[in-house]
Amino acid sequence: MSGIYIHIPFCKKACIYCNFHFSLKNNFSEIIGCILTEIELNQKKISKNKISTIYFGGGTPSLIGTDQLKRILECLVKNNKLNPDCEITIEANPDDVTIKNIKSWKSIGFNRISLGIQTFDNEFLKVLNRAHNSKQGIAAIKNIKKEFRNFSIDLMFGIPGSTIKKLKYDLKMIKEYEPPHVSIYSLDVEKKTRLYNMVKGNKMKLPSNKLISDQFDLIFNEMDKMGYINYEISSFCKNGFESKHNSKYWSNEKYIGYGPGAHSYDKKFRYWNIKNNTEYVKKIREDIQVYEKEELTKTQKINEYIMTKMRTREGVCFKTLKDDMRLNLGLEKKKEIEFMKKVNIVREKNKNLILTNEGKKILDYVVEKLTI
């Protein structure tokens, strides 16, 4: 079954760490109209089989009016076959989460909210240039819980100036409000971001690797104590609340992306839409192709399988690689695997290769050693 991703490329403010495609200009109607046209055109000709997840991301979809969100959902229903239990998620910032908006989103079909908290510390929220404060974040969680059983919050660690004590406070808030799903990310320094320029220009100092490692250990220990399942490196959930949509990315399932900068995958090709809003609008209106694509080679498919599955608690299945991709990874990478087992960064479970908690800290290294 396939998933659909809708990219809404607008934000109120530019967070210093973000390298996603977005604009601070609010020409909502123009872009929404073109997204609707893109859905109707189906330029990529990806088969419209059963859709089991829809995810509105960005940018900040919660900036968009309910009427416009409803138009997109109605267009998706018209042009696809949706599962009765389709997971339909909207990303939201706390400052957009009013009781009125929550009820409106629920009434038009959303059944899951992904809330961008990042931290409950007001000082760090200012450092990150977030548009909300801690009080708004807590209020948003409380209000969401009144209407939604299924929701997620995002948190970050490794923020400049962060300490173990401050991270403990964020984890205390998780314990107090018990969100069914939590995504916890280490703050990465991506090129073409303000954070990258600030770090490069010595205007901001990142925490030491030792501190980040200690924060990582604290997160995994405390989340486990609270009964959360770490089903993917950055993802923790109570039983039965895995993100069905994000799991598609890690399980080699098809997904279709609409909107400027959106990506798609049909198991043979990867597609990516142009990131320029003006060019996207112009091409859609003239029915000109808005995407580029790449056909994946056998080697790329193998490596992508390894890269994605090593992120999950199931890990890489030796049998799948051998039966479906004609690769005996245990033999091909025997030396590397034995070494990584010896230093306790990978282990075997049910004939799968999985990361230990120490291995999760150095995923890139593990993937580099396993890919061909």
Domain ranges for the chain, please list them: 2-249, 298-370
Q: Which two tokens stand for residue 2?
A: 């396939």
Specify the DSSP class assigned to residue 206.
P
Report the predicted TM-score, pTM, of the whole model to 2 decimal places.
0.95
For 220-245, write each residue's pLDDT tens digit: 999 999 999 999 999 999 999 999 99
Q: Which CATH class is domain 2-249?
A: alpha beta
Q: Which residues pair with 272 in a beta bridge?
A: 263, 292
**Strand 316-317, strand 229-232: pairing:** unpaired
Judged by DSSP in three states, 174 sits in helix
Angle of helix 164-177 relative to helix 134-147, nearest 10 degrees, comes to 20
pLDDT of residue 277: 92
What's the alpha-carbon Rg for the chain, to the nearest Å?
21
Using alpha carbons, select from 268, 297, 252 the residue that is nearest to residue 44: 268
For 315-360, write each residue's pLDDT tens digit: 999 999 999 999 999 999 999 999 999 999 999 998 999 999 999 9
Distance CA 3, CA 222 (A): 32
Please give the CATH number for the structural domain made up of 298-370: 1.10.10.920
Query: Model confidence at 28, in pLDDT bands (50, 70, 90)?
Result: confident
**Residue 49 pLDDT > 80:** no
For 241-276, write each residue's pLDDT tens digit: 999 999 999 998 999 999 999 999 999 999 999 999
**Strand 291-295, strand 112-118: pairing:** unpaired
Find out whether 281 and 30 touch, Cβ atoms under 8 Å. Answer: yes
Helices (H), 122-276: 122-127, 134-147, 164-177, 194-200, 209-225, 244-249
Q: Cβ of 105: how many Cβ atoms within 10 Å?
A: 26
Same fold, 2-249 and 298-370: no
